[in-house]
């Protein structure tokens, strides 16, 4: 009996989160501590995205959300904003690598706030990966949760919806049809949400590695999953 119980417990602890959402933070501090200009932090941050996505998909995570650029980040110096946009603009082979992983690209953000050529790239990524079924990359770009919620309300009004349920409301969020994050990870040790997935975070577990985003790699992903597996989720029940 004891053996049986232990086996069950072990099996349970092998469950990986279905959806992990990452807040990429600390690029600037990573660079400054190395005596480098801030943009070097963003450049390495892009490489970290690739490593994190690869490991998450390898580990069987179905949905990966990434907070890469917020509505508030538009207030940064123009050169920094342009640099980050250029990193995305010049990201060769993203569609192909997602297709190889059978990962569907979804934008979580306000397309209208993004330069037109990048809008095109985002649409193209969405179209090219539309038939992918195994994984999702939910890409937070020009994203803010309050902006998302207010937009949802305005669109509900425009559609003449008279009474809202959770089910209806969720259809108006960028994440319509996606499972909520099971685990939210913020890089850099800061412990706050900073306007990220405020509605969807209702029952998420949180994990805050003491590492800047450019240092995120397969090992950190494994550490996040292991931390999640130690949690007991009750969803308000006993």
Rounded CA gap, 70 and 178, in Å? 20
Given 25, 180, 182, 215, the catalytic residue: 25
Among 20, 63, 84, 225, contact with ligand FPP (rule: CB under 6 A): 84
Does position 28 interact with ligand FPP (CB under 6 A)? The reply is yes
Residue nearest to ligand FPP (CB): 28
Q: Which of residues 1-20 bind ligand FPP (CB under 6 A)?
A: none
Q: Which of residues 51-80 bind ligand FPP (CB under 6 A)?
A: 68-69, 73
Give the binding range for ligand FPP (CB under 6 A) out of 4-12, 83-91, 123-131, 149-157.
83-91
Give the binding range for ligand FPP (CB under 6 A) out of 40-48, 121-129, 167-175, 228-236.
40-48
Among 87, 149, 153, 156, contact with ligand FPP (rule: CB under 6 A): 87
Does position 50 interact with ligand FPP (CB under 6 A)? The reply is no
Active site residue 138: no
Does position 209 interact with ligand FPP (CB under 6 A)? The reply is no
Task: Name which of 24 and 178 has its Cβ closer to ligand FPP.
Answer: 24
Active site residue 102: no
Applying CB under 6 A, the site for ligand FPP has a residue count of: 18
Task: Name which of 27 and 138 has its Cβ closer to ligand FPP.
Answer: 27
Given 27, 54, 73, 75, the catalytic residue: 73
3-state secondary structure the chain: CHHHHHHHHHHHHCCCCCEEEEECCCHHHHHHHCCCCHHHHHHHHHHHHHHHHHHHHHCCCCEEEEEEEECHHHHCCHHHHHHHHHHHHCCCCHHHHHHHCCEEEEEECCHHHCCHHHHHHHHHHHHHCCCCCCEEEEEEEEECHHHHHHHHHHHHHHCCCCCCCHHHHHCCCCCCCCCCCCEEEEHHHCCCCCCCCCCCCCCCEEECCCCCHHHCCHHHHHHHHHHHHCCCCCCCCC
Q: How many angstroms separate the Cα of 221 from the Cα of each of 17, 163, 185?
A: 11, 41, 10
Residues in contact with ligand FPP by CB under 6 A are: 24-29, 42, 45-46, 49, 68-69, 73, 84, 87-88, 91, 213
Q: What residues act catalytically?
A: 25, 73
């Amino acid at each position: 009996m004891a053996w049986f119980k232990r086996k069950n417990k072990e099996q349970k602890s092998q469950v990986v989160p279905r959806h992990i959402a990452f807040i990429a933070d600390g690029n600037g501090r990573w660079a400054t501590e190395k005596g480098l200009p801030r943009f070097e932090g963003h450049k390495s941050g892009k490489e970290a995205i690739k490593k994190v996505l690869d490991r998450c998909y390898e580990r069987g995570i179905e949905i990966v959300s990434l907070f890469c650029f917020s509505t508030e980040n538009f207030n940064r110096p123009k050169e920094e904003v342009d640099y980050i946009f250029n990193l995305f603009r010049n990201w060769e082979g993203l569609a192909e690598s997602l297709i190889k992983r059978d990962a569907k690209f979804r934008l979580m953000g306000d397309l209208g706030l993004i330069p037109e050529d990048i809008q095109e790239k985002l649409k193209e990524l969405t179209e090219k990966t539309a038939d992918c079924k195994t994984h999702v990359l939910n890409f937070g770009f020009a994203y803010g949760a309050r902006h998302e919620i207010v937009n949802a309300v305005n669109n509900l009004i425009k559609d003449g919806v008279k009474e809202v349920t959770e089910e209806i409301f969720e259809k108006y969020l960028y994440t319509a049809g996606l499972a909520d994050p099971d685990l939210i990870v913020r890089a850099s040790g800061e412990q706050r949400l900073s306007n990220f997935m405020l509605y969807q975070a209702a029952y998420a577990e949180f994990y805050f590695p003491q590492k800047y985003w450019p240092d995120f790699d397969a090992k950190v992903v494994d550490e996040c999953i292991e931390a999640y597996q130690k949690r007991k989720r009750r969803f308000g029940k006993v």
